Structure 1
Amino acid sequence: MRIVTWNINSLRLRMPLLARLCAETAPDMVCLQETKVPDALFPLEAVRALGFGHVAYRGMKGYNGVAILSRQPVQVLEDTPDWCARGDCRHLAVRHGSGETAIDVHDFYVPAGGDIPDPDENPKFAHKLAFVEEARHWFSARAMRRTVLVGDLNIAPLEHDVWSHKQLLKIVSHTPAETERLLAWQQTGFIDAMRHFVPPAEKLYTWWSYRNRDWSASDRGRRLDHVWVTPDLRDALRGMQVLRPARDWDKPSDHVPVIVDMDA
């Protein structure tokens, strides 16, 4: 089973890139974030034409939005919270398969948090911290098995998840307030599937700012996109790839797809 997670940064704008991704990587499931399309305008037929007969989505106009595209049947899990009571389409979960071999997949888009890393001065940052805390509490209360959590979590938690640990400690996405909370969420029952393949001492990025004119040469990246799995899926992991060339595609997202292969 090949799962791809990608902050596509507007699905309708980047449908040609989604088609290219599917042609080049042949995923079984694609989890998208920041689709930026209300449900009534979701390009369902275009997505089905790519071979995904089973599609779930939650979207709103202009902002946020998540979608899960699957070649095999999935069932939407309806017992998920309305995070921070905002109804802002940041989470979608499905069950792939049935019985003992079923896999639950959670697709998240965590708030970015604005520019000022102070919850008293910046309501967006306060929302981000509250969102991660709420997610930690919710998952800690559940006995999870055969679960995959993916998405743009908007936090680079480890030293080598950013181009300069020292320079970014006071920059939103790498502040201790965020990284400590994200790791606490992860510790509710997950392992870091990307770092299963790439040791923590090695640099690993999935996002490069549009502000960097030559993003590849400067390589000032951050790992904002993640794949976590429950320990009972550790031995099922077969491979992982950050599709770095996608950052040079025509009109790219500032995030690149992350591909994980696993037995399922």
Structure 2
Amino acid sequence: MADTLSICSWNINSVRARIDIVEQLLREEAPDILCLQETKVVNDIFPREMFRRMGYVHQVLNGQRMHHGVAIMSKVPVHEDDRFDWQANGEARHVGVRLDNGVRIENVYVPAGGDIPDRDLNPKFGQKLDFLERMIQWSSALDDKPTILTGDFNIAPLECDVWSHKQLLNVVSHTPVECEILGRLQASNNWVDIGRHFHPAPARLYTWWSYRAKDWAESDRGRRLDHMWMTRDVADKAIAHRVVEPARSWAKPSDHIPIITEFAF
């Protein structure tokens, strides 16, 4: 493995529909490992060839027709394909691998949770909270395994992680109950939020802007829904973290942008 390693995470919102901008990312940023969420494609018709052509010959897929789906595409060897069903319903929302240096990468797509922040009125919200509770159980039992946990968490936990804390307090992704449970997940294994490690609050660090905005950049009503956490031993090797905000303006964009962390292993 090279002395430096870069890992990118991106909710692509259909890898086949947006294969051109995925290739653009790989050409311009050239991460060693790409973790994708919301691929929306079964494994048999995943567009593997473009990734192979770009050097991503190690491919681990957990796909689902039309919905969800995660994948890890890598230039470096990866091993031990794990798939946790944290929603307990068979949805393709996680895939995990181990690098040659022993570091694990867990790629997760947390449920969005619907529009109403009440589990009685909106079962999807309850499913989201239960998903995170199962993640806490998993995280608490990790012991000393060096691990990177990344993906679309669908929660913006800090006041500065949204364009208006006051206006979004009752909006799913920034409600107090979601922020509290994500805080418990972070505390369950002392995860380092590497985005806020390199860009401390209250720095602007959005990763998502709604498609509903006519001009997302002008209104800038963003949220930080995408995260990369890691155990302290791995965080000590991180040398940079950034978001690829121009990707939100690429042709036929995802509503999320890529996040990238660089390491010196």
Normalized against structure 2, the TM-score is what? 0.96
Q: Does 2:72 correspond to 1:83? A: no
SS at match of 1:84: coil
Equivalent positions of 1:15-26 (< 5 A) are 15-26=19-30
Matches within 5 A, 1:16-165: 16-78=20-82, 80-97=83-100, 101-165=101-165
The AA in structure 1 aligned to 2:193 is D
**What SS class does the counterpart of residue 83 from structure 1 fall into?**
coil
> Contact 1:145 / 1:232 at 8 angstroms: preserved in 2?
no
**Secondary structure in 2 aligned to 1:139?**
helix
- Paired residue secondary structure (1:113): coil
Q: C-alpha displacement at 1:241, in angstroms?
A: 1.0
How far apart, in 1, do the equivalents of 2:137 and 2:76 lie? 31
Partner AA of 2:259 in structure 1: V
1:64–1:88 contact (8 Å) kept in structure 2: yes
1:84, 1:260 → 2: CA distance? Answer: 27
CA RMSD of aligned residues (A): 1.0
- Which residue identity lines up with residue 53 of structure 2 in the other structure? A
Does the alignment pair 1:213 with 2:217? no
2: CA distance, partners of 1:163 / 1:144 = 36
The 8 Å contact of residues 86 and 132 in structure 2, kept in 1 or not, is answered as no
Name the CA distance, whole Å, in 2 between partners of 1:46 and 1:234: 31
Opposite residue 135 of structure 2, the aligned amino acid is A
Contact 2:155/2:173, CA 8 A, preserved across alignment: yes
Question: Comparing 177-186 with 39-48, which one deviates more in the overlay?
Answer: 39-48
Deviation at 1:26, TM superposition (A): 1.1
**Structure 1 runs not aligned, ≥5 long:** none
In structure 1, how many angstroms separate the alpha carbons of the residues matched to 2:242 and 2:86?
A: 30
Contact 1:2 1:29 in 2 (8 A): yes
Runs of 5+ in structure 2 lacking a partner? none
* Cα shift readout 1:12-43 (whole Å, capped 9, x = no counterpart): 11111111001101110000000000111111
Question: Which letter does structure 1 place at the counterpart of 2:132?
Answer: V
Distance 2:207 2:198 in 1: 15
CA distance in 1, matches of 2:234, 2:55: 26
- CA shift for structure 1 position 77: 3.5
CA contact (8 A) 2:60 2:81 kept: no
User: Is 1:202 aligned to residue 203 of structure 2?
Assistant: yes
TM (normalized to structure 1)? 0.96
Counterparts of 2:243 and 2:253, CA distance in 1: 15
Give the Å deviation of 1:144.
3.5
Q: Secondary structure at the match of 1:196?
A: helix
SS at match of 2:59: strand
CA–CA distance in 2 between the matches of 1:34 and 1:81?
Answer: 16
1:52 Cα deviation (Å)?
0.4
How big is the shift at 1:83? 1.7
Point out 4+ residue stretches in structure 1 off by more than 6 angstroms. Answer: none
Letter in 2 for 1:114: G
1:155-214 Cα distance to aligned partner (Å, 9 max, x none): 000110000111101000000111110111111221100000111122220000000111
1:246 is displaced (CA, Å) by 0.3
- Give the match for residue 181 of structure 1: 181
Taking the aligned partners of 1:122 and 1:258, their CA distance within structure 2 comes to 30
Aligned equivalents of 1:147, 1:178: Cα separation in 2: 23
SS at match of 2:173: coil
Across the two proteins, how many residue pairs are aligned to each other? 260
Structure 1, 21-30 or 83-92: larger mean CA deviation: 83-92
**Structure 1 residues 107-161: Cα deviation after superposition (integer angstroms, max 9, x where no partner):** 0000000000000000110100000111011110221432111100000001100
